[in-house]
Structure 1
Amino acid sequence: MNRLFLLLTLIFIPHCQAFASDQPEPVWRSLDPQNSVLMQLPHGDVVIELAPTFSPNHVNQMKELIRLGVYDNQPFYRVIDGFVAQGGPQDESTHKKATETLTLEGEWSTDSTFTFTPIQENDMFAPVTGFIKGFALGHDPANKTAWLLHCPGVIAMARGNDPDSGTSHFYITIGQATRYLDRLMSIFGRVVYGMEHVHAIQRTQVIEGDTPVEPDEHIRIVSMRMMSDIPEDERIHLEIEDTETAAYQQFLTERRHRTAPFFFKPPPPVLDICQVPVKTRIAND
């Protein structure tokens, strides 16, 4: 065995043990095939969970566009490192539905019955942050509004200056949270599988003086299909960690108060909503 590898192994193992805890087993929920999308890229598959509870009109539009084949063989034409991967049909005239504008679904009203799993108060962009059905959200109790957050991996509809100008072009956040876009855009889903393939999409923007990326080098979507339209034996069956459980609450407590021996200088008991993971796993048949 390589001596350097052995040394690194001996160093790393104690660190892993230091992070171990007596956390309860997560509670899992099955991904609904009626509200999940399989996006096939040349280099791998990506699964997107849609959010009809929060952005119903955008979800319905996306489903219809997918079933029309609008996104098949279309490029990710605006891919900026640390920001977004944006794609959409290059000739919208071939599908009338692809040009229909949507009213912004940037936030929704809440009432006294509104519940979610809280994460942090006095977030930089929201009075309160938390999870609902695995989606990161901001909440303003005083104004009784809530909205989904631009954490890495969310999918939202691109638009122009008019808030109600989104049609068919979408983006996936590939960098750290672009939270300044919260409430300004319609988030309608998030990547729950294959994020590494999203990160591998060819960047289209280069630094000044570098060789430009030509359009024929842009990564194209092989196909997008609703998971429910795919034969059962060809689907990717996933389970998502349920964020509305006591087990997840305990996980949050332990993550907020890092007491493992590794943290000889404990960090502040703060949780950045976009740094709190929600696990995905392949479902056991």
Structure 2
Amino acid sequence: MKRYLTLAASAAIFAAFPLAAQTTAAEKEKKEYPSPPEIVAKAKAEEWLAIAPSDLLVMELAPDAKSKSRRVVIQLMPAPFSQGWVGNIRKLAAAKWWDGTSINRVQDNYVVQWGDATETKALPEGLVTVPESEYVADITETPIFDPVVHGHVIQPWATNVSGEGVWSIPIAVSPLNRKKARIKTSREKETPKARQYRNETYGWPTGFSKGWPVSGNLNARGFGKTGEIWPVHCYAMVGVGRNLSPDTGTGAELYTVIGHAPRHLDRNIALVGRVIEGIEHLSSLPRGTGPLGFYEKEEERVPIASARLGNEIADLPAFEYLSTESASFAAYADARANRRDAFFIKPAGGADICNIPVPVRRKPL
């Protein structure tokens, strides 16, 4: 345990050293805390999980003004989330439907959207109509609760009713907050302090499922026995454009978030993936001047040369993500919530789910 001197004793000791020495000692103490990128860089090889090429959608835009290629790589959402729309996207890619379509909308601090600007291109056969109920996944709570593991609360309670299996949801809780609040288990009432420190505007619990940011509602349809969970709108997440309800979109019109996380869209639009490489080719595009950021002239639109599943791309590098159930991810999430590295003065004591982006990288050769 770290021992603390009284204020008077501390002053007497530090007065005996030059100011430069005091500054060096303080800087050294701060540098003992690694930054989030440093934690990720030191993660063990076995903590990184491969992303199957067949779970990637690779979109090639027309070259830019300097004739440089522009590739956008999208990781598709795994089960149990949004599988009806993801299935449609696979069919659209197989049919080469996006070839010759375009980026049609760029709204500042919001989204980039693409598809058929004319809305006349015939869709391939076999696309399904997905109901609004699929915006969320049903879960069944089990009375299992692990306390604190590597700076996180790990609660492997979520089991998909359809039998997809069990996944753990690490919820970021700072050491300070854990001392001030007992976190609710399935068999005890939640204290006011615990409720204060676990508050999340759009749902609870909030954490990660199979490498994806998610939120939920433990008691959506019962008394602690059932609930629901859904993916959330963070930066670079990809969703399905739609018309007014009950329309849910086919997957032919897609968008990605390029601004502050629009969490109010959660459970209102289907999320189907995230951009893992090439987001700069979308976020840096000129903003549209029409309503909602749509381009008003055809020449403003950015042509899409092709969109294929990753297993059809010969030169596609291998990608992997840091397991959200790993010790390194837990340390990384804690560091994102409590920045103690040299630049920072005051740790925040917490982090929004979208401020803990899941690390994704090209697999080292």
Structure 1 residue 95: Cα displacement: 2.7
For the 8 Å contact 1:65–1:97, the answer to whether it is kept is no
Corresponding residue of 1:205: 289
Q: Runs of 4+ in structure 1 displaced over 4 angstroms? A: 16-19
For the 8 Å contact 1:18–1:262, the answer to whether it is kept is no
Scaled by the length of structure 1, the TM-score of the pair is 0.84
SS in 2 for 1:165: coil
Structure 1 residue 166: Cα displacement: 0.7
The CA distance in 1 between the partners of 2:302 and 2:128, in whole Å, is: 25
Corresponding residue of 1:52: 78
For the 8 Å contact 2:115–2:254, the answer to whether it is kept is yes
Structure 1 residue 245: Cα displacement: 0.7
Asked whether 1:181 is paired with 2:195, we answer no
Corresponding residue of 1:147: 230
Corresponding residue of 1:5: none
Corresponding residue of 1:102: 130
Residue type of the partner of 2:109?
G
Listed as ranges, the gaps of 5+ residues in structure 2 are 1-26, 65-69, 142-156, 159-167, 174-197, 221-226
Structure 1 residue 206: Cα displacement: 6.0
Give the stretch that moved more between structures: 39-48 or 87-96: 87-96
For the 8 Å contact 1:78–1:205, the answer to whether it is kept is no
Question: Could you give the per-residue CA deviations for residues 196-254 of structure 1, whole angstroms, max 9, x where no partner exists?
Answer: 112123322369xxxx75221111211100001223xx113212121111111122223
Listed as ranges, the gaps of 5+ residues in structure 1 are 1-13
Aligned length: 265
Scaled by the length of structure 2, the TM-score of the pair is 0.66
Asked whether 1:119 is paired with 2:172, we answer yes
Question: Could you give the per-residue CA deviations for residues 38-85 of structure 1, whole angstroms, max 9, x where no partner exists?
Answer: 111234111111013111111110010011111112111122111111
Corresponding residue of 1:171: 255
Identity %, equivalent residues: 27
For the 8 Å contact 2:33–2:340, the answer to whether it is kept is no
Mapping for residues 66-85 of structure 1, pairs under 5 Å: 66-85=93-112
Corresponding residue of 2:322: 241
Question: Could you give the per-residue CA deviations for residues 181-207 of structure 1, whole angstroms, max 9, x where no partner exists?
Answer: 000011011111111112123322369
SS in 2 for 1:252: helix
User: CA 1:202–1:73 in 2, change beyond 3 Å: closer, same or farther?
Assistant: farther
Match of 1:221 among 300, 304, 319: 304
The CA distance in 2 between the partners of 1:31 and 1:140, in whole Å, is: 28
Corresponding residue of 1:259: 340
User: CA 1:274–1:202 in 2, change beyond 3 Å: closer, same or farther?
Assistant: same
Corresponding residue of 2:188: none
